[in-house]
Amino acid sequence: MTSPASAKPAILSVDDDPGVSRSVVRDLRRRYGADYRILRAESGASALEALRELKLRGQPVAVLIADYRMPGMDGIEFLEQAMDLHPYARRVLLTAYADTNAAIEAINVVDLDHYLLKPWDPPEEKLYPVIDALLEAWRSDAHRPVHETKVVGHRWSARSSQVREFLARNQLPYRWYLADEPEGSRLLQAAGASADNCPVVIDAAGKALLAPSDSELAASVGLNTDPTGEFYDLIVIGGGPAGLGAAVYGASEGLRTVLVERTATGGQAGQSSRIENYLGFPDGLSGAQLADRARRQAVKFGAELITAREVVGLEVCGSARVVNFDDGSSISAHSVLIATGVNYRHHPAPGVDEFTGRGVYYGSAMTEAADCADRDVYIVGGANSAGQAAVFLSRHACTVHILIRADSLEKSMSHYLIQQIEQIGNIVVHPCTEVVAADGDGHLERLVLRNNATGTEDKVDAERLFLFIGAAPETDWLDAIVTRDAAGYVLAGPDLMVDGNRPSGWELPRPPHHLETSVPGVFVAGDVRSESAKRVASAVGEGAMAVMLVHRYIAKQ
């Protein structure tokens, strides 16, 4: 039986100076000992061992306090490793006046929540207010206990791959079992299912879902799939960088904001294995990390996030803007922001569609990386997303082959990525090359490659093909509602003006705002906007700018 003390959330302090360590713990116990288990360690290694034991017991950790200057493992290194064990714990660095640069570095490396200068006496003024605020944020945060969801499926099942990708992109831990292996078979038997029912998802409570839809899967793992209200100030459609930026700024500035996402927050950027040129993160971060931080930030400010809902229509009903879902339900708002981004174009080569999800993947499909160990991997595309995937997969694969139709990467990829690729020995770039056919028995086994410079074709063995071949907007649901360009991108602001005239049907005395579409009160931001910059930073900026314009629009209603 778990004792009351061990059931309490933990606050852990680590400092190699015994006197300082005892002093920190004494002050913490005096204030928080009744509700929290106060632990201390005198080295990073011993603190990590304590955190591993807490993890095995399923005990949450609320706050980590680490001294910067410790031999063997400094405070930043400790907090970085501790994040893998307890990612939702709030992080504090103890520094001297001379070490404030270290604290600034830690903000980027370990997403530091606060740093305290030693000494902190009196604690009533310098320690307790900080810890109080961190504990309040930890308690109110949407962090989830790490329950073990089990997925049983087939290695070459497209739907099994989609389920795993859905869970991974939504930051939901799971364990993967093959249906034809002993443990997978035992789980299917216990669930009263067979291999024909796969994928089978067994949630932490032991409930089995047979071949669940995304909405059923989302509901089973605790994601919010239904709006709590019927009318909002702002509806954000799409959870990529632009949509998340708008959700953060909209909610933080007092707008009742709801964000609707079809699959998972982050968009295409959320699938990136590493983003190294985003302002403020000199050491880089993954797209999943960026998306998770932005999602938590939006929720903290009060934005409502709806997942696994498909938007199929937009209507204008007087001053209300109505968003329709595929199940026939709808929600309304004063304003709407379209931030649906773009999706990868389908590859036209014969066989590619047949093997999608069975060896052929659009985007990074990071869940497949472990299965690429010691195998040749092929990537089609020459933009940054392809380069980031190549660098990531090179850690696992025998050889990563980048196939591009251009004669070099310089025309489409950032210079820093080209330099990285040139320094990685198992990445090979094939210029003037494209896939002309895919073949296999039940899954991808071979590719036919054509060198357009020589006209020759070669057949190669391949079980993994990742496609980054440009993207297009999916905006057919906006047909006859907002004006789009020939490629389907949404026109806004000055791009709507023709010879200085306002768009057809525009009845307001003012011209459209910069990010406003041909429908007043409906805005657009990010990659789905015509002539947008197609960069994470610009998408976030447009999301923030759109909120400013929404305020202007609502104020005039």
Instruction: Note whether 283 and 325 are same-domain residues.
Output: yes
pLDDT at 2: 41
Clarify whether residues 180 and 303 are in a common domain.
Answer: no
Structural domain containing residue 453: 353-469
Asked whether residue 334 falls in the same domain as residue 483, the answer is yes
In a shared domain, residues 158 and 133:
no
Structure tokens at 135: 């504990």
Pairing state between β 200-202 and 208-210:
antiparallel
Same domain, 247 and 320: yes
463 and 362 both lie in a single domain: yes
Domain for residue 160, yes or no? yes
Query: What's the pLDDT score for residue 135?
Result: 92
How many separate domains does the chain show? 4
- pLDDT at position 4 is 45
210: domain CATH number?
3.40.30.10
Q: Note whether 105 and 175 are same-domain residues.
A: no
Residue 502 located in a structural domain: yes
Whether pTM exceeds 0.85: no
Q: What pLDDT sits at residue 3?
A: 45
Here the CATH number for the domain that contains residue 287 is: 3.50.50.60
Which residues, 6 or more positions from 248, have their beta carbon under 8 angstroms from its beta carbon? 294, 297, 298, 301, 303, 543, 544
Among 413, 436, 469, where does a domain finish? 469
Q: Is residue 226 part of a domain?
A: no
Regarding whether 274 and 256 lie in a shared domain, the answer is yes
Indicate whether 132 and 155 sit together in one domain.
no
Which of the listed residues 220, 245, 271 is the one where a domain comes to its end?
A: 220
For residue 127, what is the domain's CATH number?
A: 3.40.50.2300
Same domain, 477 and 465: no
List per-block mean pLDDT (blocks of 10 residues) for the chain, which spans 557 residues. 61 91 92 94 92 78 90 87 84 73 61 77 87 87 61 94 91 89 89 92 87 93 93 97 97 97 89 83 82 92 96 96 97 98 92 94 78 92 92 92 96 93 97 97 97 96 93 92 96 90 87 96 97 93 98 92
Joined tokens for residue 66 = 């680490």
Q: Is 347 domain-assigned? A: no
Q: Where is the domain boundary, 82, 106, 140? A: 140
Within a domain: residue 333? yes
Is 333 in the same domain as 481?
A: yes
- Bridge partners for 38 per DSSP: 11
> Strands 465-467 and 311-317: what pairing?
unpaired
Residues 442 and 489 in one domain: no
How many CA atoms does the CB half-sphere of 555 hold within 13 Å?
Answer: 6
Report the distance separating Cα 534 and Cα 342, nearest Å. 10
By the 8 A CB rule, do 435 and 402 touch? Answer: no
